[in-house]
A and B are shown apart, each in its own frame.
Chain A
Amino acid sequence: SAVISQKPSRDICQRGTSLTIQCQVDSQVTMMFWYRQQPGQSLTLIATANQGSEATYESGFVIDKFPISRPNLTFSTLTVSNMSPEDSSIYLCSARRGGADTQYFGPGTRLTVL
Chain B
Amino acid sequence: QQQVKQSPQSLIVQKGGISIINCAYENTAFDYFPWYQQFPGKGPALLIAIRPDVSEKKEGRFTISFNKSAKQFSLHIMDSQPGDSATYFCAASMGFQKLVFGTGTRLLVSP
Contact = CB atoms under 8 A, between A and B. Distances in A.
Interface of A: 4, 33, 40-43, 45, 48, 92, 96, 98-108, 110
Contact of A43 (B32, B34, B41, B44): B44
Interface residues of B, number: 20
B46 interface: yes
A45 B98 CA distance: 8
Given A40-B106, A43-B101, 20 more contacts: A33-B98, A41-B103, A41-B104, A42-B102, A42-B103, A42-B104, A43-B44, A48-B98, A98-B96, A99-B96, A101-B32, A103-B46, A103-B99, A105-B36, A105-B43, A105-B44, A107-B41, A107-B43, A108-B41, A110-B41
Interface in B72-111: 89, 93, 96, 98-99, 101-104, 106
Contacts of A42: 89, 101-104
Contacts of A41: 103-104
Nearest to A44: B101
B89 A43 contact: yes
Interface of B: 32, 34, 36, 41-46, 49, 89, 93, 96, 98-99, 101-104, 106
A92 B43 contact: yes
Contacts of A105: 36, 43-45
A101 B49 contact: yes
Contacts of B93: 101
4 closest Cβ pairs, A-B complex:
A105-B43, A105-B44, A43-B101, A107-B43
Contacts of B44: 43, 92, 105
15 contacts: A41-B103, A42-B101, A42-B103, A42-B104, A43-B44, A92-B43, A92-B44, A98-B96, A101-B49, A102-B34, A103-B34, A105-B44, A105-B45, A107-B43, A108-B43
Contacts of A96: 96
Nearest to B93: A101
